[in-house]
Amino acid sequence: VDGNDVWYTIRAQAGETQILPGQKTKTWGYNASLLGQTIVLKDGVHYHVHIVNDLPEVTTLHWHGLNIPGPITDGGPHAPVYPGKSRDIEFTLNQPAQTDWIHPHPCPNTARQVWQGLAAAVVVTDDIEGKLPFPRDYGVDDIPVVLQDRSYHDNQLDYDADYDMDGTLGKYMLVNGTINGVFDVTTQRVRLRMLNGADRREYRLHFSDDHEFTQIASDGGVLPEPVQMKKVMLTAAERAEVIVDFGDYKPGDRVQLMTDDMPVMTFAIGDFERDDTVLPAHLVDIEDWQPTPGLPVEKTVMSGMDDEVLLDGKLFDMQRIDRRQQVGTVVDWDVTNTNEMDGGMIHPFHMHGCHFLILSRNGHAPYPNEHGFKDTVGVNAGETVRIRVKFDVLGVFMYHCHILEHEDTGMMAQIEAY
Ligand code: C2O
Ligand code: CU
Ligand code: CU
């Protein structure tokens, strides 16, 4: 740290982690044997990041959710870091507080590298969020919940054995790399920064007793108003920050966070002081973007399943720029999933280098927790989601389905923000 400059080294490395009883599992991580410490960044600060690749194969480091120039800094497939080599990037952070993440993005090995363990949470802070009455004591009442699923074969990962073209699923539910994790609740209110870091799985999160919680933020930061809910759905790469009030439990109680009928983690209630904090009905102002006159609605189509997935009828080609959008202009996009309404897959649509607002789903109002900025949206089978997009930074950026196996197959395209 030096004035407004901060230096980081992030090393992608191989290691071993005790996950199941018995033999350790061979895993990958960032400065760790698995996953990596949460990276805390502050709006307005200039970061210098030294990325080192100690793995036996090429990787990249993508900052999912950061609005930083592309494609090298952003860390998509254009920014390889070769084995034994490093890459230096720098950027000034200019965006609101939110929960983001880093993960590799080398085409076509993203899914397998994430499966091996490369992913870590990123927390962006700013002065606006800093004044809201949210829990923010990291590790005590403000915790990352990185949701992933894995299978093991004699305690080892075997991506090829488990591989599924439509997204690899695991039979164990992990939180922050841990199976059957238990969090000791020592404050009445706990903020969970939930991140779907799975290759494919959709999480439908709820408590075992249907206890209510309050969503305060989504991918792109704090929501305009808090949303009370009993269940939240996260498709691959989406985030939700929620505050859980454990005030009506007593010490010794335990409650589970579940996805569908599978336990994800347990909260063990301890002693805590009463906390009567009430959230304001209005949290933050969402900038009112108006579409730039004269620009048509962009249409993008996600189609197919298995080896037939396509984006706009094509497979990814790094030599091809698929669209352009001028920095500062506001353009509406119709994002369509042509799968059959019954039984067809959800494709989570993600854009690099920008955030967007969700205007409608098949012409209907978006869900109550979709009133803030987003970078990933689950597009249901048979649905067209209208989003409003603005780029603030220059560069070539990816947009793609965030089922990582779909992305690796080529359900991805490039936009140049100019
Ligand atoms: Cu989370 Cu193209 O990435
Ligand atoms: Cu991304
Ligand atoms: Cu998909």
DSSP per-residue string spanning 78-123: TS-B-TT-EEEEEEE--S--EEEEEE---TTTHHHHHHHT--EEEE
Does 49 score more than 80 pLDDT? yes
Summarised one tens digit per residue, pLDDT across range 299-344 is: 999 999 998 999 999 999 999 999 999 999 999 999 999 998 878 8
Longest dimension (CA), the chain: 64
Ligand 3 centroid vs 347 CA: distance in angstroms? 4
CB contact set of 315 (below 8 Å; sequence gap of 6+): 409, 410, 411
Ordered strands of the 354-361 beta sheet: 310-311, 298-303, 330-337, 384-391, 354-361
Q: Tell me what pLDDT residue 71 has.
A: 97
Q: In terms of Cα–Cα distance, which of 88, 100, 78, 77 is closest to 53?
A: 88
| Token pair recorded at residue 195 | 């991140």
Percentage of residues of the chain with pLDDT beyond 70: 100
Tell me the average pLDDT across 66-71.
97
The minimum-distance atom of ligand 1 relative to the CA of 400 is: 2
Confidence bin at 1 (pLDDT 50/70/90): low
Question: Alpha-carbon distance 123 to 134, whole Å?
Answer: 14
CB contact at 8 A, 71 and 396: yes
Domains of the chain: 5-126 (2.60.40.420), 142-269 (2.60.40.420), 298-417 (2.60.40.420)
Nearest partner of 38 among 198, 176, 187, 130, judged by Cα: 176
What would the two tokens of residue 280 be?
Answer: 């304001």
Indicate the pTM of the whole model.
Answer: 0.97
**Residue 345 pLDDT > 90, yes or no?**
yes
Residue 32 burial (C-beta neighbours within 10 Å; 0-12, 13-18, 19+) = middle
The number of helix segments (H) and strand segments (E) in the chain equals 3, 31
- Residue range 118-122: average pLDDT? 98
- Model confidence pLDDT, tens digit, residues 123-133: 999 999 999 99
Q: For residue 262, is pLDDT > 90?
A: yes
Ligand 1 center from residue 80 Cα (angstroms): 15
Strands 203-207 and 254-259: antiparallel
Ligand 1 atom having least distance to the Cα of 76:
2
User: From the CA of 108, how far away is ligand 2's center (Å)?
Assistant: 15
Tally Cβ neighbours within 10 Å of residue 139: 9
Question: Is the per-residue pLDDT at 144 higher than 70?
Answer: yes
Residue 367 has pLDDT above 70, yes or no: yes
Contacting residues for 261 by C-beta, under 8 A, at least 6 apart: none
Residue whose Cα lies nearest atom 1 of ligand 1: it is 64
Q: How confident is the model at residue 268 (pLDDT cuts 50, 70, 90)?
A: very high
Nearest CA residue ID for atom 3, ligand 1: 64
The tens digit of pLDDT for each residue in 186-231 reads 999 999 999 999 999 999 999 999 999 999 999 999 999 999 999 9
Burial class (CB in 10 A: 0-12, 13-18, 19+), 151: middle
Residues 6+ apart with CB under 8 A from 2: none
Strands 178-179 and 172-175: antiparallel
Taking a C-beta distance cutoff of 8 angstroms, is the pair 242, 279 a contact? no
Average pLDDT over residues 345-354: 97
Q: Find the length of the chain.
A: 418
Ligand 1 nearest-atom number relative to CA 412: 2
HSE-CB for 249 with a 13 A CA cutoff: 23
Using CA atoms, how far residue 183 sits from 60, 62, 246, 266, 267, in Å, is 32, 29, 13, 6, 5
The answer to whether 339 and 305 have CB atoms below 8 angstroms apart is yes
* Per-residue pLDDT, 343: 81
CB 357 within 8 A of CB 286: yes
Summarize the confidence of residues 67-89 as an average pLDDT.
98
Distance from C-alpha of 230 to C-alpha of 147, rounded to nearest angstrom: 18
As a whole number, mean pLDDT of residues 96-118 equals: 98
Q: For the chain, what is the radius of gyration of the CA atoms?
A: 20
- Going from the Cα of 9 to the center of ligand 3, the distance in angstroms, rounded, reads 33
What residues flank ligand 1, with Cβ below 6 Å? 62, 64, 103, 105, 237, 350, 352, 398, 400, 402
User: CB neighbours (10 Å) of residue 295?
Assistant: 13
Q: 228 exposed, middle or buried (CB, 10 Å; 0-12, 13-18, 19+)?
A: exposed
Give pLDDT, residue 342: 76
Q: pLDDT exceeding 90 applies to what percent of the chain?
A: 98
Strand partners, 150: 172
Are the CB atoms for 15 and 34 separated by under 8 Å? yes
Q: What is the dihedral of CA 269, 270, 273, 276, to 10 degrees?
A: 0
Half-sphere exposure of 386 (CA within 13 A, CB side): 13
Summary mean pLDDT of the chain: 97
Terminal CA-to-CA distance of the chain, rounded, Å? 32
Q: How much distance in Å is there from the Cα of 348 to the middle of ligand 3?
A: 6
